[in-house]
Structure 1
Amino acid sequence: METLSQPIKLIATAAMGLESLVKNEVIKLGYENVQTENGRIIYDADLSGIARSNLWLRTADRVKLLMGEFEAYSFEELFEQTKALPWEEWISKDGFIHVVGKSHKSKLYSVPDCQSIVKKAIVSRLQQAHNLQSRLKETGARYKVEVAILKDKVTLSLDTSGSGLHKRGYRVGQGDAPLKETLAAALVQLTNWTPDYPLVDPFTGSGTIPIEAALIGQNIAPGFNREFSAEEWDVIPSNVWEKALEEAEDLANYEQPLDITGSDISHEAVEMSKQNAMEAGLADLISWKQMQVKDFVPKSEKGYLIGNPPYGERLSDQQTVEEIYKNLGEIMASYPKWSVYIMTSYNDFESKFGKKATKKRKLFNGFIKTDYYQYFGKK
Structure 2
Amino acid sequence: MGLEDVCAGEIKSLLNPARCFELGRGRVFFRGPIEAIYELNIRARTLHKLFLLIHRGRFEDLEDIYVATRRLDFTEFVEADQSFAVRAERVGRHDFTSMDIAAQVGQGIIDSYRSSMGVRLKVNLDEPDVEFYAFVRDDEFLLGLNTTGPSLHKRGYRVFKHPA
Q: TM-score, normalised by structure 2?
A: 0.86
Residue 94 (str. 1) matches residue 102 (str. 2): no
Shift of 1:122: 0.3
1:163 correspondence with 2:155: no
1:74 aligns to 2:61 (yes or no): yes
- The Cα shift of 1:86 comes to 2.2
Aligned to 2:72: 85
- Which structure has the bigger radius of gyration? 1
Q: Structure 1: state its 5+ residue gaps.
A: 1-15, 171-210, 221-247, 251-379
The structure 2 residue matched to 1:25, chosen from 1, 5, 10, is 10
In the alignment, which of 60, 63, 86 is matched to residue 47 of structure 2? 60
Q: Which residue of 2 aligns with 1:136?
A: 121
Who is 1:153 aligned against? 140
- Whether the aligned pair in 2 keeps the contact of 1:149 and 1:155 (CA below 8 Å) is yes
CA contact (8 A) 2:84 2:121 kept: no
Q: Matched residues in 1 for 2:150 and 2:103: separation? A: 23
- Residue 124 of structure 1 aligns with an amino acid whose one-letter code is D
Q: Would you say how many aligned residue pairs link Structure 1 and Structure 2?
A: 160
1:118-133 equivalences in 2 (<5 Å): 118-132=105-119
Quick check: 1:107–1:152 contact (8 Å CA) kept in 2?
A: no
Cα 1:94–1:141, aligned 2, differ >3 Å: closer, same or farther? farther
The whole-number CA distance in structure 2 between the counterparts of 1:76 and 1:107 is 13
CA distance in 1 between partners of 2:101 and 2:60 (Å): 11
Paired with 1:148 and 1:138, the residues of 2 have a C-alpha distance of: 19
Q: CA shift at 1:137, angstroms?
A: 4.3
In the alignment, residue 115 of structure 2 is paired with which amino acid? Q
Determine helix, strand or coil for the equivalent of 1:61: coil
Q: Distance in 1 between matches of 2:132 and 2:95?
A: 17
Q: Secondary structure at the match of 1:129?
A: helix
In the alignment, structure 2 segments of 5+ residues that lack a partner are: none
- The partner residue of 2:29 within 21, 33, 42 is 42
Question: Are the aligned partners of 2:132 and 2:146 in contact in 1 as well (CA < 8 Å)?
Answer: yes
Distance in 2 separating the partners of 1:88 and 1:27:
31
Contact 2:84 2:122 in 1 (8 A): no
Query: CA offset at residue 129 of structure 1?
Result: 1.2
Superimposed CA distance per residue, residues 241-266 of structure 1 (whole angstroms, 9 cap, x where no aligned partner): xxxxxxx846xxxxxxxxxxxxxxxx
Question: Percent same amino acid among aligned pairs?
Answer: 23
Q: Aligned partners of 1:70, 1:131: CA distance in 2, in Å?
A: 27
* Coordinate RMSD, CA, aligned: 2.3
What is the deviation of 1:94?
A: 2.0
Indicate conservation of the 8 Å contact 1:97/1:142, yes or no: yes
